Amino acid sequence: MGQRIPPQDVAAWELVDVKSQQNEITPEAASAPMPDGLDPLYEAATIALRRGRWKEAEKLWREFLAHAPTFHPAYHNLAVALAQQGRVAEAETHLRKAVELDPGYVFAPCTLVNLYLREGRVAEARELLDRVIVPESVHPEAMAAYCTAQTQVAAAEGDVEKAVAWLDTAAKVDPDNLTVKELRKRLRIPRMLEKALAKLRRKVVQEKLERRRRVLSQDAPLPDCYGIYSAGELAGMARAIGIDLGSSQRQDILAAVCGALENSESVAAIRRGLRAEETAALREVADAGGRTDYETFTRAHGTDADDEPGWSKQPQSLLGRLKCRGLLVEATVERRPSVFIPKRIPCAGS
């Protein structure tokens, strides 16, 4: 996940009149003045780094630091050269030195964040980034580095919307930044996927609401209770209650599920596989006459809103697991959104 932040050439920075997150975007030259007589060495080291000549860049930056041991950008650039040679531990040491010399030098912690991400150390990357304080005056490339680091950590955490928001900020600050452009390409598909998933979640919520609105009686035939489920849900029910139907048609799966739930031995086997809290919740509904208001039940035991749709995997919620086994059904009963035990199921709540 870690994108290398290109080394910066202090001499080439220009003042731009932009503001982002209450920070004034300025050149960094004032905070990192070039030591006297080292311009040629700095230029040579920078060129070697930008052209990917990592060993040469390492040698030149070490030579530079021998003359200017407090010039923090040199520690950052040396770390980049080391990281590109796979020497991550050494790179981390020099990045921490750069931060120690100037906590406001944003490039160093952001590059360190990217090293962590490359190694899958997402929690450490987040912890480090949360400690970064962007100075009031900051160079546009530094602000972009900070925003793209936030982008990559958010993406690694699975928060695509947050990642895109940070990337949009980076693009406003430094629209020609190569890292921004590369991340834009990377996040396009995840963002589209996130939108598709959000649409699916809204659809699932609407379907569950419609199911609670349908009117049923507690003694409704089982095909009426479960006939509203999709083929995938019915297949999930079949697996949950121990029926192996292979690639059967939807109506065949529905018939097999209903047949199993009308069989006392099958229901007894299903009940033996319940967790203690599931058995207790089912008994509460049975003791209430086999029906409980939806709000009353979910207030005590939670909803199934966070379960994955389709029951391709066993639901994580208590309500979802009982529904997946056919022991509870949602519908409007006696004019109230309810969960109930179908009366056609023998001894389900006893």
Predicted pLDDT of residue 349: 54
- End-to-end Cα separation, the chain, in angstroms: 54
Distance CA 328, CA 305 (A): 16
Predicted pLDDT of residue 198: 67
Distance CA 51, CA 112 (A): 21
Distance CA 46, CA 60 (A): 9
Predicted pLDDT of residue 188: 74
Domain spans of the chain, in order of start: 10-194, 214-340
Kindly state the tokens that stand for 113: 């964040």
pLDDT at 257 over 90: yes
| 167 vs 328, higher pLDDT | 328
User: b vs e for 19-51, b when ≥16 Cβ sit within 10 Å of the residue's Cβ?
Assistant: ebeebebbbbeebbeeeeebeebbebbbebbee
Mean pLDDT in residue range 313-323: 93
Q: If you classify domain 10-194 with CATH, what class do you get? A: mainly alpha
Mean pLDDT in residue range 303-308: 86
pLDDT at 207 over 70: yes
Query: pTM, whole model, 2 decimals?
Result: 0.49
Mean pLDDT in residue range 222-247: 89
**Residue-averaged pLDDT of the chain:** 85
Q: Give the rounded percent of residues in the chain with a pLDDT score beyond 70.
A: 86
Predicted pLDDT of residue 248: 77
Kindly state the tokens that stand for 41: 């060495």
DSSP string of 31-73, one letter each residue? TSPPPTT-HHHHHHHHHHHHTT-HHHHHHHHHHHHHH-TT-HH
Question: Is there a contact between 158 and 190 (Cβ–Cβ < 8 Å)?
Answer: no
pLDDT tens across 47-92, in order?
999 999 999 999 999 999 999 999 999 999 999 999 999 999 999 9
pLDDT at 184 over 70: yes
Predicted pLDDT of residue 323: 96
